[in-house]
Chain A
Amino acid sequence: MTALATSMAPAGMLSQRQLIWRRFCRHRVALASLWFIGILYVVVLLAEIFAPYDPFARNPTGLLSPPTAVHIFDDDWQLHRPFVYGRKVELDRQTFQRHFVEDRSQRYPIRFMIRGAPYDLLGIVPLDIHAFGVDAPGAIFIAGTDSLGRDLFSRMLFGARTSLFVGLLGLGIGFVLGLIFGGLSGYYGGAIDTLIQRFTEFLQSLPTLPLWMALAALVPKEWTPTQVYFGISSVLAIIGWTGLARVVRGKLLSLREEDYVMAAKVNGVSEWAIITRHLLPGFASYLIVHLTLAVPQMILGEVSLSFLGLGLRPPAVSLGTLLLDAQNIQTVTLSPWLLYPGAFVILIVVAFNFLGDGLRDAVDPYRQS
């Protein structure tokens, strides 16, 4: 069958990359995940526009307000463009709990590209346009508000921005280190390989959580929480490249034995050109897969560490710190929307994992289609 399979290679002029893309597109869920992640990154980068409110703006009258319902029919079943009702607070005479109820007398149509709180887009462009919102004094909290009356949806967007980007530096450092050490180990072999492998095993045996706590205690006091997190995650990356280094080493060891690499050597191609023109393209796709699957790990790492109080701390907004509010069982039972950031985390991680799986299947040339 092997001889048959190789002679069946799709005729035509498709490059390896085009073949991978074709295989990837057949994986519907992964393709959808790619779209989701792409849109997500655009939205969180431009969070100021897409968030209707400032993530720190408190709404003293709207503490722990449930998600605002969006309507298109009024009480008389008349069709309108989407709108929300006003809110008023009612006190339950028996439990003495406050409830938010809709004030059916006031209707606030949802408006797009509305002027609202001013901000600096990407830190430089002063703007006050928001993608959607309602006119004051109406309010739209599509994911409710937290215990200080801040709009949870806006905070989720800003929190996702932190969570999606804060680990990237660490990831980048780890990636470069893994590539270098794995590359040295795999390309040269011999004593260098043995040395790096033993060193890798040492690093892999270090427990992460206590190390993280020790590092958290070591950083200068005057750093902001975000700087602290940046620092720690970078240090962790410096010792966390081992997994990638192993992958790179293994891949190089097998690719180095390929006849075409030997052919390049016989043809007088320099070492550097062999690495960049023959070896790297051979596993660039695997690196992309590795990175794709590392991002959700990084997000989950941030979320769980922040949740434990070891990572980011309020007032920094991240998906992890947003979940800090959900630590209290009472608030969760009364205000279940505080768990929305958790659902958001799941969605993001699952999307990344599907994307990674799709890519892995697509780059694997030996997979039966």
Chain B
Amino acid sequence: MSETELPVLSVRALQKHFPVERGIIRRTVGAVKAVDDVSFDIAPGEILALVGESGSGKTTLGRCIVRAIDPTGGEATLTRRDGTSVDLVRTPQRGLRSIRSDMNMIFQDPFSSLSPRMPVIDIIGEPLRAQGIARREIHARVREMAALVGLNLDYLTRYPNAFSGGQRQRICIARALITNPRFIVADEPVSALDVSIQAQILNLLQDMRERLNLSYLFITHDLSVVEHMADRVAVMYIGRIVELAPKSRLYATPRHPYTEALLSAVLRPDPEARDQPILLTGESASPAAPPQGCHFHPRCRYAQDICRTVAPQLTEVAPGHASACHLSKELALRGVGTA
């Protein structure tokens, strides 16, 4: 990661507001701010983990970036393999089609993300077909990619129902990587898999990053996986990034109370470490009706008056370490040790 190199992806003030409609004529009465003013960069070859609980907007954010859904504001600049830059937010869907070879997405559920009525060879080759590449070449490249991700080449004419969850996720990965992209959004790629299969897929994603010089936006709720995979971590809470830091810094010295609680709630597979987690009261509020001020204040044990009225900005508290908390300079928060 060199400092001078342009980031692969540069997201600025990205937002996605879903209109709330009422009545027969669907009058817009409000907005759910699923993603609200989010900014970050991803360097070439970097893995940025996006952590959050359900309703934090992490999946929506990932989908907005690859334009599976259309964001309502902000910028997301992708630097392509040929060095040109393009703003993914302002390009219309039609114009995006040629850009799509530079980015792709891996979904959480390997069962629903593969069309059940297509043989695997066509599924993996679909991004190439969409680029108008000849069938013969598609098949050659599919075989090459399938071998790379560890699929049995004899089974390529079968349908997805003949494959187990782990193999299906390999198919998804092959499909996402076949156009030789620079950037991948991986949305909970191992959450739906069996424990004994997860490691295979995580290793595969790591290998592919090294071989193909990929960058990932790695979306997950599992902090153990994050610690294993990520270079930097962004923590989301109700539509906003509340903390963004290099991984080891974030785990050792979190600067946001939510990150602290999240880290302490991770259950380690170690019966000796039955330490009491910092219990948060309640659950995260609905993004349709977020609390005033800092979204986290109703659950925060350090909350003060200012937190209830003024929304904190994401500001740098240490080099490369940003936190959106009024008290981040004063609090000494508990992290987890990295052996």
Q: Answer yes or no: A and B touching, Cβ < 8 Å.
A: yes
Residue numbers of A with Cβ under 8 A of B are 6-7, 9-17, 19, 194, 258-260, 262-270, 273, 277-278, 281-282, 365
CA distance in complex: A194, B25 (Å): 8
Per a CB cutoff under 8 Å, which of B105, B115, B130 touches A270? B130
Per a CB cutoff under 8 Å, which of A194, A259, A267 touches B109? A259
Task: Output the nearest chain B residue to A19 by Cβ-Cβ distance.
Answer: B161
Stretch in contact with the other chain, from B5-13, B95-103, B204-212, B331-339:
B95-103
User: Can you list 8 A-B contacts with CB-CB less than 8 angstroms, sorted by A residue number?
Assistant: A263-B113, A263-B114, A267-B104, A267-B175, A268-B100, A270-B97, A277-B118, A282-B117
Residues from chain A with a CB closer than 8 A to the CB of B96 are 268
Is the CB of B66 closer than 8 A to any CB of chain A?
Answer: yes
CA distance in complex: A309, B49 (Å): 74
A7 touches B164 (CB 8 A): yes
Is the CB of B127 closer than 8 A to any CB of chain A?
Answer: yes
Residues from chain B with a CB closer than 8 A to the CB of A266 are 66-68, 100, 104-105
Task: Output the nearest chain A residue to B26 by Cβ-Cβ distance.
Answer: A194
Residues from chain A with a CB closer than 8 A to the CB of B68 are 262, 265-266
A268 touches B101 (CB 8 A): yes
Is the CB of B126 closer than 8 A to any CB of chain A?
Answer: yes
Q: Shortest distance in angstroms between B118's beta carbon and chain A's nearest beta carbon?
A: 8
Is the CB of B165 closer than 8 A to any CB of chain A?
Answer: yes
B116 touches A259 (CB 8 A): no
Residues from chain B with a CB closer than 8 A to the CB of A260 are 112-116
Q: Interface 1/0s, chain B 151-191, versus A by CB < 8 A?
A: 00001011101101100000010010000000000000000
Residues from chain A with a CB closer than 8 A to the CB of B109 are 259
Task: Output the nearest chain A residue to B66 by Cβ-Cβ distance.
Answer: A266
A13 and B159 in contact, given A263-B113, A267-B127, A268-B127 (Cβ under 8 angstroms): yes
Q: Shortest distance in angstroms between B72's beta carbon and chain A's nearest beta carbon?
A: 15
CA distance in complex: A12, B155 (Å): 9
Q: Shortest distance in angstroms between A365's beta carbon and chain B's nearest beta carbon?
A: 8
Give residues 75-124 of B contacting A (CB, 8 Å). Answer: 96-98, 100-101, 104-105, 107-109, 111-119
Extra 12 A-B pairs, beta carbons < 8 Å, given A260-B112, A266-B66: A9-B161, A13-B157, A14-B159, A14-B162, A262-B68, A263-B175, A266-B67, A267-B104, A268-B100, A268-B131, A269-B129, A270-B130
CA distance in complex: A263, B114 (Å): 8
Residues from chain B with a CB closer than 8 A to the CB of A9 are 161-162
Q: Which 4 A-B pairs have the closest CB atoms?
A: A268-B100, A259-B113, A267-B127, A268-B130
Is the CB of B63 closer than 8 A to any CB of chain A?
Answer: yes
Residues from chain B with a CB closer than 8 A to the CB of A262 are 63, 68, 107, 113
Residues from chain B with a CB closer than 8 A to the CB of A17 are 117
CA distance in complex: A254, B67 (Å): 20
Q: Shortest distance in angstroms between B25's beta carbon and chain A's nearest beta carbon?
A: 8
Task: Output the nearest chain B residue to A285 by Cβ-Cβ distance.
Answer: B117
Q: Shortest distance in angstroms between B221's beta carbon and chain A's nearest beta carbon?
A: 18
B117 touches A16 (CB 8 A): yes
